[in-house]
Amino acid sequence: MKTIILFLGLAALFPFAAAAGDFPLGFYGIAGPKELGVLKEAGFNCFHTYTQDPERLAALAAEAKKLDLKMVAYPDRVIGSTFEKEAKRWPVLAWYLYDEPEVRKFPLASLEQMDKRVKDWSSAAKTVFVMGEGVAAFNYGGVADMLMVDWYPVPHLRLESVGEQIAMAKAGAAIKDPSRQDKPVWAVLQAFDWIGYPQKRQPPVGGFPTFEQVRFMTYLAIARGAEGIFYFTYTGSDGVPLPNRPERWGIYQRIAAELNSLMPALKKGKPGVLPAGLDANLAYRAIKQGGKNYIILLNASEAPLPLNPEVLSPYRPLFEQNRALPPALAPHKVLVLEK
């Protein structure tokens, strides 16, 4: 436990650098090629699918290639099928090994064997799996090329717990896989209402995340080191695709638009320097790229935090109706600044 607390503290003091290369921005649960055009139009560049049938995966891959989308898919039935040679040329960002091994008490050795099977089949293949909580990386974090953490706090848990889970996953990976420095961790964030899923809490409670909640979770994950963002899930528990609910789908379209405007910095940016004199309770990430400097500021506390106008005067807020710097940052609010 002391190790976990130590690494959480380090993560808060020294936000991780953005990795040069891919920054996947996608949705879980894509079922068919027709959905990919909707996803692309909304500003996403990647998707996850639970489909395992090789023929259906081939159809998804063909459409994804047309649209310049990357996919995350299970390799289980592809390897050994008539599609296994062709699949090496599919636009696969990573082959998906397993879903929440710690929840299912899946042996570490078995996960390692799955990873080896994929690498033996294709030496160029990248692998990934998702964990239900970041602390699982202290056991499983040495497996695969990337890690994913899914965490869905609304309305049961504190929003800032998203950042804690990402930081723990980064810390666990650093300990378990030191040869691959700064292994990418992708956050899987909430795009569903818990009322439609089994809960331990009785009576069950729910509520779809608001725009402000999704925005806060997304930027906090990035501030804590996430190098990719996915949302769960494209189709709700009632079988209705999210785009059929424009008031909900619009939340993720707006977030995608913001992240796309920052994509060069998220993909290729280097660690920036935070100006001295800001409130120490602010969460942040500073990035420099292409002659520009960006600061993501977040208030993860329950009270407003003051902003120092003199320190931040060279910066201008992005994505805000009012470009003037506010005197304080309200709880669970985000401010993206550019200089």
**The domain spanning residue 296 has which CATH number?**
2.60.40
155-201: per-residue pLDDT in tens?
Answer: 999 999 999 999 999 999 999 999 887 899 999 999 999 999 988 88
**The domain spanning residue 164 has which CATH number?**
3.20.20.80
Which of 64-73, 297-306, 318-327 shows the lowest mean pLDDT across its residues? 318-327
* Domain range for 19: 2-268
The predicted structure's pLDDT at residue 2: 42
Q: Which of 246, 268, 290 is the last residue of a domain?
A: 268
285 lies in the same domain as 216 = no
In the structure, what pLDDT confidence band is assigned to residue 51 with cuts at 50, 70 and 90?
very high
46 lies in the same domain as 191 = yes
Q: How far apart are CA 315 and CA 176, in angstroms?
A: 39
- Structure token pair of residue 249: 């789908």
79 lies in the same domain as 32 = yes
237-276: per-residue pLDDT in tens?
Answer: 999 999 999 999 999 999 999 999 999 999 999 999 999 9
109-150: per-residue pLDDT in tens?
Answer: 999 999 999 999 999 999 999 999 999 999 999 999 999 999
Cα dihedral: 108, 182, 152, 2 (round 10): 70
| Residue 22, pLDDT above cutoff 90 | no
Residue scoring higher pLDDT (173 or 5)? 173
163 lies in the same domain as 206 = yes
The predicted structure's pLDDT at residue 179: 86
291 lies in the same domain as 195 = no
222-238: per-residue pLDDT in tens?
Answer: 999 999 999 999 999 99
Residues 290/335, Cβ–Cβ less than 8 Å: no
36 lies in the same domain as 161 = yes
Tally of domains within the chain: 2
54 lies in the same domain as 147 = yes
